Amino acid sequence: MKLENGHISEHSLMFGVYCFMQASMLRTAFIVGVTKNDSWAMAFTGLALALVLVAIYAALLRRYQQKNLFEINELIFGNVLGKVFSALYLFFFLTIAALNARDLGNFAESSVLPGTPLTAFILMFLMVCVYAIRKGIENMMRLATVLSFVAAGALVFNVVLILKNVNIEFLKPMFQLPFKNYVQGTVTVAAIPMGEILAFTMITPMLGKNKKAGKMMALGLIYSVISLSIIMLRDIVTLGPLLGIVRLPSFESIRYISLAGVMTRMESLYAVILISLFLFKTVVLLYASVLGLAQILNFKSYSPLTLICGAFVLFYSLIVTKSAMENEEWGASVAPFFSLSFELMLPVIALATAMIKRMLKKKEAQQ
Partner 1 sequence: MKKSKKQKLEADYFKTTKHRALSAARRLISIVICTALIFSLSSCWSRRELNTLAIVLATALDVGDKPDTVKVTAQIVKPGGIKASSTSSGGGTAEKAFSNIAFTDKSILSALGGFTHITNRRMYFSHNKVLIFGSELAKRGIAEGMDTFTRNFETRMNVYVLVSKDKAADILDEEIELEQMPANHISELLENQGLSSETAIVTVRDFNIATLSGTMAPIAPMIELYNFKEKKKARLEGTAVFKESRMIGELSSTQTRGLLWITNKAKRHTITIDTELGKIDLIITGSKGSIKPYRNKDGTIGIKLMVNAQGCLEGNETEEDLSTLENIQKLSELAEEAIRADIESSIKQAQALSADVFGFGESIRRDYPKEFEKIKDNWDQEFVKIKPMLEVEVFLNCTGGIGKPVKEGGG
Partner 2 sequence: MRALEKLLSQTKKKITKSVVSSEAEEINPEKLSRCLSENLNALVKVFGDNCDFVSREFNFGRDGQYKGAIMFFDGLTNLKIINDNVIKPLMYDSRFVRSDDTGALESLEELRDKLVSVGDLKTVESISGAIDACLSGNAVLLVDGFQKALDISAKGWDKRAISEPDTETVVRGPREGFIENLRTNTALVRRKLRSPQLKIRSIKIGDRTNTQVNIIYIDGIVNPELIAEIERRLKNIDTDAILSAGNIEQFIEDSPSSVFQTIRYSEKPDTIVGKMLEGRAAIIIDGTPFVLSLPMLFVENFQSSEDYAVRTSYATTMRILRFIAFFISLFGPALYVALATYHQELIPTSLLITMAASSESLPFPAALETFLMMLSFEILKEAGVRMPRPIGQAISIVGALVMGEAAVSAGLVGAPIVIVIAITAVASFAIPFASDAVSLLKWVLLVLAATMGSFGITLGALAIVIHLASLRSFGTEYLAPFAPFQTSDLKDTLTRVPLWKMRTRPRALKPRDSKRQNFKIPYKPAEANDSGEEDRS
Q: If we measure between CA atoms, which residue out of 216, 242, 38, 277 comes closest to residue 46? A: 38
The secondary structure of residue 262, as a DSSP letter, is: T
The entry of partner 2, partner 1, none that residue 110 binds, CB within 5 to 8 Å by partner kind: partner 1
Contact yes or no for 321/330 (Cβ under 8 A): yes
Instruction: Determine the Cα–Cα distance for residues 93 and 75; give it in Å rounded to an integer.
Output: 20
Query: In this chain, which stretch among 13-21, 39-47, 58-66, 249-257 interacts with partner 1, using CB under 8 A?
Result: 249-257
Contact yes or no for 13/204 (Cβ under 8 A): yes
Q: Which is nearer to partner 2, 132 or 225 (CB)?
A: 132
Pair type for strands 263-264 and 258-259: antiparallel
Q: How far is the CB of 40 from partner 1 (least distance, A)?
A: 16
Instruction: Determine the Cα–Cα distance for residues 129 and 280; give it in Å rounded to an integer.
Output: 8
The entry of partner 2, partner 1, none that residue 242 binds, CB within 5 to 8 Å by partner kind: partner 1
The entry of partner 1, partner 2, none that residue 63 binds, CB within 5 to 8 Å by partner kind: none
Determine whether 318 is exposed, middle or buried from the number of CB atoms within 10 Å of its CB (0-12, 13-18, 19+): middle
Query: In this chain, which stretch among 63-71, 110-118, 187-195, 204-212 interacts with partner 1, using CB under 8 A?
Result: 110-118
Amino acid at 287: Y
The entry of partner 2, partner 1, none that residue 344 binds, CB within 5 to 8 Å by partner kind: none
Contact yes or no for 237/168 (Cβ under 8 A): yes
Rg, the chain, Cα only: 21
Instruction: Determine the Cα–Cα distance for residues 277 and 147; give it in Å rounded to an integer.
Output: 8
Binding mask 257-296 for partner 1 (x = CB under 8 A): -x--------------------------------------
The entry of partner 2, partner 1, none that residue 164 binds, CB within 5 to 8 Å by partner kind: none
Q: Would you count residue 180 as binding partner 1 (CB under 8 A)? A: no
In degrees and rounded to multiples of 5, residue 247 shows phi and psi of -80, -40
Q: If we measure between CA atoms, which residue out of 64, 86, 4, 8 comes closest to residue 298? A: 86
Rule CB under 8 A: which residues touch partner 2?
1-4, 8-9, 11-12, 15, 108, 112-113, 116, 120-121, 124-125, 128, 131-132, 135-136, 139-140, 142-143, 145-146, 261-262, 264-265, 268, 271-272, 275-276, 279
Query: In this chain, which stretch among 138-146, 235-243, 278-286, 287-295 interacts with partner 1, using CB under 8 A?
Result: 235-243
Contact yes or no for 33/244 (Cβ under 8 A): yes
Q: How far is the CB of 301 from partner 2 (least distance, A)?
A: 17
Q: Which is nearer to partner 2, 9 or 181 (CB)?
A: 9
Q: How far is the CB of 231 from partner 1 (least distance, A)?
A: 18
Instruction: Determine the Cα–Cα distance for residues 197 and 285; give it in Å rounded to an integer.
Output: 9
Q: Would you count residue 252 as binding partner 1 (CB under 8 A)? A: yes
Residue 283's region, left for phi above 0, alpha for psi from -120 to 50, else beta, is alpha
Q: Choose, by CB under 8 A, the member of 6, 153, 244, 304 that binds partner 1.
A: 244
Q: Which is nearer to partner 1, 245 or 349 (CB)?
A: 245
Give residues in contact with partner 1 (CB under 8 A).
110-111, 113-117, 120, 124, 127, 169, 172-173, 176, 239-242, 244-245, 252, 255-256, 258
